Amino acid sequence: MNDAISLDIADRRLLAALQRDAWASQTALAEEAGVSPSQVSRRIARLRELGVLRAVVGLLDAEKAGLSCAAIIRIRLRDHAAANVKAFRDLVARMPEATFCVMMTGEADYLLRIVTRDLPHFQEIVQTKLLRCAAIAHMESSIVLEHVKDTTALPIGD
């Protein structure tokens, strides 16, 4: 099933511009999209209604915000019983430190990114939250040493 929405070139250019700078003026966005400033408002409203534009947010620099430790954790559940899946997903939903979680194929069932103040805080999160989750059979953590590429921008293109 394909839920993709049909977007014209102006929509794509507008979305690309919003991904670069959501605080840009309507005039600047209109210039980039090749439409009038009044069309920018209508197009943004339409893209929100369609669910293509989910939110406009401010992106923070984690280190400057005092969050110097990031880790990637591969998680394998005990089994795929509905109760285990729900317990794990509920745990992740309650964890503000969890900034990304996907279910995937391969040896691990989930890939989770955790962001914390420092390594002791990461250890505390692992011990007080993740290791106490009976649904988890195995965890493997890797501490992020350097962010080579870290973007939220999708390759919307023309």
Domain map (residue ranges) of the chain:
9-49, 69-143
Q: Which fold has domain 9-49?
A: Arc Repressor Mutant, subunit A (1.10.10)
Average confidence score pLDDT of the chain: 95
**DSSP helix/strand/coil, 32:** helix
Q: Identify the pLDDT of residue 63.
A: 94
Q: Which residues pair with 71 in a beta bridge?
A: 114, 143
- Considering the entire predicted model, what is its pTM? 0.87
Q: Which residue has the tokens 């620099």?
A: 61
Q: Would you state the structure tokens that stand for residue 18, as one six-digit string?
A: 């919003």
Whole-Å CA distances, 3 to 45, 50, 52, 101: 19, 11, 10, 22
Helical axes 37-49 vs 26-33, angle rounded to 10°: 80
Of the candidates 133, 138, 147, the one whose C-alpha atom is nearest the C-alpha of residue 100 is 147
Q: What is the mean pLDDT of residues 87-108?
A: 98
Of the candidates 139, 154, 151, 153, the one whose C-alpha atom is nearest the C-alpha of residue 71 is 139
pLDDT in tens, 66-81: 999 999 999 999 999 9
In this model, does residue 158 exceed pLDDT 90?
Answer: no
> Binning pLDDT at 50, 70 and 90, where does residue 3 land?
confident
> Binning pLDDT at 50, 70 and 90, where does residue 4 land?
confident
In this model, does residue 1 exceed pLDDT 60?
Answer: no
Of the candidates 69, 82, 72, the one whose C-alpha atom is nearest the C-alpha of residue 139 is 72
Rounded CA-CA distance 82/26 in Å is 47
Q: Which fold has domain 69-143?
A: Alpha-Beta Plaits (3.30.70)
Rounded CA-CA distance 33/127 in Å is 49
> Binning pLDDT at 50, 70 and 90, where does residue 84 land?
very high
Of the candidates 74, 72, 94, the one whose C-alpha atom is nearest the C-alpha of residue 136 is 74
Taking a C-beta distance cutoff of 8 angstroms, is the pair 41, 48 a contact?
A: no
Q: What is the mean pLDDT of residues 81-90?
A: 98
Q: What is the mean pLDDT of residues 14-26?
A: 95
What b/e sequence results for 21-30 when a residue is b if at least 16 CB atoms lie within 10 Å of its CB, and e otherwise?
eeeeeeeebb
pLDDT in tens, 104-126: 999 999 999 999 999 999 999 99
